[in-house]
Structure 1
Amino acid sequence: MYLLDQKRKDQEVRDARYNYAIASYIANELELDEPIMRFYINQPAVIIGKHQNAFAEVDLNYLEKQHIQLVRRSSGGGSVYHDQGTLIYGFVGKDDHSSYQDFSRFTQPIIQALQRLGVKNAKFSGRNDLLINDKKFSGTSMLVSGGKVVVGGTLLLDADYETLANVLTPSKKKLAAKGIKSVESRVTALRPYLAKEHQEITIEAFRELLIKELFAVDRLEEIKIYTFSDKQWQRIDEIVEEKFGNWDWNFGRSRQLNYQRDHRFSFGTVEFQLAIDRGKICECQIFGDFFASGNLEEIETALLGVSLKKDDLLTVFRSFDLTRYFGEVTAEELVEVILSEM
């Protein structure tokens, strides 16, 4: 397995737009004979899931005042805040057709490494979280595309609870479903749980220790390193311009329509934003923090012109394999959400 060199012209890349462009390039364009792993740190940034509504998930005024980036990733899941106290990891390997949504398969080595560093109570829980004493210190996202499985996760060494509470605005239903009152009450930093000899560690040194544990080496020089060429960096520049640094990708799909319904399922929240004209759907957007491999625009397009009637809506939803687009849900359950009372 390779470890990616995170430097460009001897400067470590910490721009979130570039780090997600790197992930996209590795997943979609780079062909390697072995899996590749990377560990990186972002400057302050909010990362939202592919299907989320930016205006509903984040306090955009606060982001602008604090000069915090917002970047939409290519995979599903919820919103996270990254800063200099967050270590992010990514893994890309061949899809063996048994990996999709099997988060524990990829997070278990992380947990084992953390336990060896003194974090004895670290465990995998729920859909995609890593916890200590029921508080989250890591979330994981996954995407399967082009014969590859792409896994990404965060490790919170230090937490800026004030900024975290101000920047993220999750729905009350989502928090209620988890039995919690706020974002701050459900997260924790790793530092207090590290062994005594690691308590004053910098995030760069923490990264090095974790890499050594995961690769089972004593020195970083023992690991196979992958370095991008100038030509590859030019392609990454293009991906930033086309996608992760592009307003239309990060914000353009998100807006508030006049008919909104949402529901929290076991696989995540599903939100329908509709514009209704004379009883028919004339605009449709679907949001959520679920993980889906299907293109939601196919369902959104199919719903255009459909009357807001149970039978008509059922006909549309029954024409799709809904597990590919949402998770384990039936057409009846989705229609019930759309037709529910506010």
Structure 2
Amino acid sequence: MNKVIISEEFNPYYNLALEEELLYSVDDEDTILYLWQNEKTVVIGRNQNPWLECNLDYLREEKIYLARRISGGGAVFHDIGNLNFTFITKKKNSNLGKQLEVLKQAISFFEVEISYSGRNDLLADGRKFSGHAFYEDDEYYFHHGTLMFDVDFKYLQKVLTPSKLKMESKGIQSVRSRVINLKELNPHITLENLKEYLINAFENVYGELDSVKAINRASYKPKKFESYEDEKWIYGETPKFDVLVEERTSKGLVQVALQVKDGCIDEVQVYSDLLETLPIEIIKQKIIGQYMDEEVIKNILKQVI
């Protein structure tokens, strides 16, 4: 059966939890088109370092969500000018050609020509408007992605610029691409007609729809909602990496080299050009076990030195 599920929530943790729940409850013959939007959010891939991919200080200042998804790939920015899609089915029924045909037909309603760039991106006018990622687990499969129609690129440029921490990492660094809003090519594109054309195209390609259902927090709460908003998931799945935090005091420069595992600091080395002896053991004691946060580390250094 072919189903459309539309989330009426804009919380990324709710929407990602619902996506995972739909994945693991899909029946053998079902194909689900799940449509969802987030408030301003940076969503990082399963194996990425948030400190490498985005400006965490700016996210905090602007009250922008940070979320981690279960699929791989790069960091992306969502806001309400973006519509997310997910094709959910059993792996035996997955058909990337049909999924891309749905997207192509939907966008063609707006008389916008699109092209494919590898497996992960869709382009219009030579610029990226849609990035994709895939997830498989045993018999389960999904393909999800973004459709940027009216994204605020002011935030996009700032949130995906990492802070100036010096890093060495084994994580996957996102490739920054030239991007475009579909609305630049057709000003008549709206959220509602984009949804409508996606649903129509889904029915054209997959056949008659069994149901179109809207879900919100009042009607349903996904079981993993709290798991997605848990800092241990957001930061704790980070690949191991090294960070050098520098703090210049009136006495000189202090450098703290940090080894981070699962988002927590587990080893510290302290360097300095200060003439006086530093209380290195006290610094280590206060820092080890902390979640990696540049401002917290700098405040500890200011208190101790």
TM-score by length of structure 2 reads: 0.68
State which of 205, 218, 233 in structure 1 corresponds to 2:193. 205
Give per-residue Cα distances to partners, 1:131-179, cap 9 Å, x unaligned.
12321100111111131211101100013111000000379xxxxxxxx
Q: Residue 71 of structure 2 contacts residue 134 of structure 2 at CA under 8 Å; is this kept in 1?
A: yes
State the distance in 2 between where 1:108 and 1:216 align: 10
DSSP 3-state at the match of 1:74? coil
State the distance in 2 between where 1:258 and 1:163 align: 27
Is residue 107 from structure 1 mapped to residue 94 from structure 2 by the alignment? no
State which of 61, 67, 74 in structure 1 corresponds to 2:57. 61
More helix by share: 1
State the distance in 2 between where 1:228 and 1:133 align: 35
Q: Residue 108 of structure 1 contacts residue 124 of structure 1 at CA under 8 Å; is this kept in 2?
A: no
Give per-residue Cα distances to partners, 1:56-96, cap 9 Å, x unaligned.
10101111111111110000000110101101101111212
Q: Residue 46 of structure 1 contacts residue 69 of structure 1 at CA under 8 Å; is this kept in 2?
A: yes
Q: Which amino acid aligns with 1:246?
A: D
Is residue 163 from structure 1 mapped to residue 151 from structure 2 by the alignment? no
Q: Residue 51 of structure 2 contacts residue 162 of structure 2 at CA under 8 Å; is this kept in 1?
A: no
Q: Residue 28 of structure 1 contacts residue 146 of structure 1 at CA under 8 Å; is this kept in 2?
A: no
Q: Which amino acid aligns with 1:210?
A: L
Distance 1:246 1:256, change over 3 A: same
State the distance in 2 between where 1:228 and 1:200 align: 27
Give per-residue Cα distances to partners, 1:217-255, cap 9 Å, x unaligned.
9xxx96523566999934x1x3011x2111110112337
State the distance in 2 between where 1:253 and 1:27 align: 21
DSSP 3-state at the match of 1:117? coil
DSSP 3-state at the match of 1:150? strand
Is residue 225 from structure 1 mapped to residue 212 from structure 2 by the alignment? yes
Shift of 1:16: 0.9
Q: Which amino acid aligns with 1:41?
A: Q
Structure 1: which 5+ runs fail to align? 172-181, 261-273, 276-282, 286-342
DSSP 3-state at the match of 1:252? coil
Residue 3 of structure 1 corresponds to which residue in structure 2?
3
State the distance in 2 between where 1:255 and 1:128 align: 22
Shift of 1:31: 3.4
State which of 191, 196, 202 in structure 2 corresponds to 1:214. 202
Distance 1:144 1:222, change over 3 A: closer
Q: Residue 43 of structure 2 contacts residue 78 of structure 2 at CA under 8 Å; is this kept in 1?
A: yes
State the distance in 2 between where 1:74 and 1:167 align: 21
Is residue 141 from structure 1 mapped to residue 127 from structure 2 by the alignment? no
DSSP 3-state at the match of 2:131? strand
Distance 1:259 1:39, change over 3 A: closer
Give per-residue Cα distances to partners, 1:309-342, cap 9 Å, x unaligned.
xxxxxxxxxxxxxxxxxxxxxxxxxxxxxxxxxx
Shift of 1:41: 1.5
Task: Point out which structure has higher relative CO (alpha carbons under 8 A, 6+ apart).
Answer: 2
State which of 243, 246, 254 in structure 1 corresponds to 2:230. 246
State which of 10, 21, 28 in structure 2 corresponds to 1:14. 10
Shift of 1:24: 0.6
Structure 2: which 5+ runs fail to align? 164-174, 245-257, 263-305
Q: Residue 5 of structure 2 contacts residue 32 of structure 2 at CA under 8 Å; is this kept in 1?
A: no
More strand by share: 2
Q: Which amino acid aligns with 2:83?
A: L
TM-score by length of structure 1 reads: 0.61
State the distance in 1 between where 2:242 and 2:115 align: 42
Task: Report percent identity of matched pairs.
Answer: 31
Residue 118 of structure 1 corresponds to which residue in structure 2?
111
Residue 73 of structure 1 corresponds to which residue in structure 2?
69
RMSD: 3.4
The number of aligned residues is 238
Q: Residue 27 of structure 2 contacts residue 90 of structure 2 at CA under 8 Å; is this kept in 1?
A: no
Residue 187 of structure 1 corresponds to which residue in structure 2?
179
Rg (Cα) greater in structure: 2
DSSP 3-state at the match of 1:138? strand
Distance 1:13 1:113, change over 3 A: same
